[in-house]
Amino acid sequence: MMDVHNNEIVEIFLTVADLMEIKGENPFRIRAYREASRVIGDMSEQVAQMVHDDRDLTELKGIGKDLAEKIREIVTTGQLEFLESLEKEIPASLLELMKIPDLGPKKVAAMYRELGITTMEDLKKAVEAKKISALKGFGEKTEQKIFKSISRPKKEFGRRTLLIDAEPSALAYKKYLESKPGVKSVNLAGSFRRGKETIGDLDILVTCDTGREKEVMDAFVTFEEVNRIYAKGNKKSAVLLRNDLQVDIRIVPESSYGAALHYFTGSKAHNLAIRRLAVQKKYKVNEYGVFDGSRQVAGKTERDVYEALGLHYIEPELRENMGEIEAAKSGRLPALIEPGHMRGDLHMHTTRTDGRNSLSEMAEAAKALGYEYIAVTEHSRKVAMANGLDEKDLREYMARIEQVNAQIEGIEILKGIEVDILQDGGLDLPDSVLKDLDIVIGSVHYQQRFPMKQQTERIIRAMDNPYLQILGHPTGRLLNKRDPMDIDLERIIEAAKEKKVAMELNAQPDRLDLPHNYCKFAADMGVTIVLSTDAHSTENLRRMANGITEARRGWLTKEDVVNTRSLGEMREMLKR
């Protein structure tokens, strides 16, 4: 039995879809592969485990008999015969070329067929020899566009931007557009609005005085950060910023504002499902509204759009076609957690280890945020580069915490630790001191490259320590930098349930760890979740907002998160 991960199956199916597209296969068949890969990619459960347990894969939405068999083949053999036969017909290097803007499957196929182009290098030579513009269906402008694009490093295409990195440009753009005459409203939609951890591009929706659309579009493409204009019309335009962020804009009439916001917020999968539902009800949904024949029956607000289709309003964070539409039909949507629900923060560092602010500064800042309690959780000795504490250091610091706690009014400072989980699953500090703490978080910081079985068992063994209350940043992922550890997270969450250990949702914008799909899995199992900032400065305490967004994407309610509770109730719930 091989450990084939969901993301490997996703990659294989996406590659199959791309290759079939170049080959010119039936688009609906291609879509089936893409749809299946999306479903698998969003799952928390490992498909390989399902195969192993002899479960019926066709229970999964979008997976029928054929794809179930292909998944089984991938899981048992580690490869897919069908993909290999496709790769014999279509060079896989063509997929790189498809990442170039304006080059899709048809054009790439034509260049391959007519000129034998398979690599970026081939393409460059053909462009320089002016062979591209000679092809039918191609012309001077297309050749120029390709020339412009291949002079850029290829890795820049398709790279996703951390939400928090996109934020400054997004807000600056919004403010800029709002200042333009004739503009009535500017809204950021797309994955930015859905609160995805990383975004592919930025989507802006604008309403303006009728007749002034062109004026607004002129302003849009002359924003100071614009580096390149991809397309410009009166309803829709697209540009590339200097920081490589692509920005799309749509201008719509106010009567269609809700439908357009819905359409432009996505996700694509959610929109497709909504449109399919509309077709069932003999309606048509587009970005201008819900239509019964040519009559608009909804569209001014998003709520109207959902109601016209017999659905409750769905929050943007849930719009991934992961069950939210079914829940909205039957009124089973969760009441999502909100920033105002948070009453404390249970993971932070101070200047005693690698933080930038003192204990009292952190406490004052937390108090200013309206919190009732915090836990100060320094690193343990193993994390030497952060001046991690040994037992003696910790005892001293605990005394210091008690001191400050006595001095400060209106907030309770709890004595905590982020103790390192050692190679063998032991903890980096003795029980004799752990037992005297209020909050014990256990985290893996070293040896993150163990094989799955070993890594999983290491973490589960750590949870056997009766003083460990919270598993910190459970996957160890750093978005765009480091993959999650190779672990069976489902098994770990099940163990957490059994041992009454809570899972942390670490709110650092490049962690957001526990990932949302596992938040949902854990909450469904009844595992307690702690939403923490892991702040290393007073400023960082505000990152709770990022964690709230991830929690909402994971369908979490106030009840699922322990630090929405009063101090007493929270402590009771974390007791083992």
Partner DNA sequence: GCCGTTTTCGGCCCGACTGTTTTCAGTCG
Chain residues in the site for DNA (CB under 7 A): 26, 28-29, 31-33, 36, 58, 61-68, 82, 98, 100-108, 133, 136-143, 145, 190, 201, 203, 231-238, 246, 248, 268, 271-272, 275-276, 278-280, 284-288
The token duo for 460 is 């589960």
Q: What three-state secondary structure class fits 280?
A: helix
Closer residue to DNA in complex, CB, 270/516: 270
Q: Which residue's CB is nearer to DNA, number 100 or number 561? A: 100
Work out how close the CB of 297 gets to DNA at its nearest, in angstroms, rounded to a whole number: 14
DSSP label at residue 135: S
Q: Which is nearer to DNA, 184 or 276 (CB)?
A: 276
Token digits for 364? 């004052």
Q: For residue 250, what are the β-bridge partners?
A: 205, 236
Q: How far is the CB of 99 from DNA (least distance, A)?
A: 8
Distances in whole angstroms, Cα of residue 186 to Cα of each of 254, 366, 413: 12, 33, 42
CB of 168 to DNA, least distance (A): 21
Q: Which is nearer to DNA, 104 or 339 (CB)?
A: 104
Residue with smaller CB distance to DNA, 147 or 176: 147
Q: Which amino acid is at 65?
A: K
Smallest distance, Å, CB 58 to DNA? Answer: 6
Q: Whole-angstrom Cα distance, residue 307 to residue 442? A: 46
CA–CA separation, 547 vs 554, rounded Å?
10
Of residues 283 and 373, the one with the C-beta less far from DNA: 283
**Residues 6+ positions from 158 with CB-CB distance below 8 Å:** 99, 200
Nearer to DNA, 232 or 303 (CB): 232
Give me the least distance between CB of 142 and DNA, in Å please.
Answer: 4
503 strand-pairing partners: 471, 529
- Nearest approach in angstroms of CB 77 to DNA is 17
H, E, C per residue of 305-354 = HHHHCCCCCCCHHHCCCCCHHHHHHCCCCCCECCHHHCCEECCECCCCCC
Task: Give the nearest distance from C-beta 222 to DNA in angstroms.
Answer: 15
CA geometry: angle at 491 spanning 488 and 494, to 5°? 150
Minimum CB separation from DNA for residue 331, in Å? 18
The C-alpha atoms of residue 323 and residue 61 are separated, in whole angstroms, by: 10
Rg, Å, the chain Cα set = 26
Amino acid at 451: P
Sheet with 412-420, edge to edge strand ranges: 344-345, 373-379, 412-420, 439-443, 470-471, 502-506, 529-532
The structure tokens 């007493």 sit at 568
Strand partners, 348: 535
Closest approach, Cβ 122 to DNA, in A, equals 16
535: left (phi over 0), alpha (psi -120 to 50) or beta: beta
Closer residue to DNA, CB minimum distance, 243 or 407 = 243
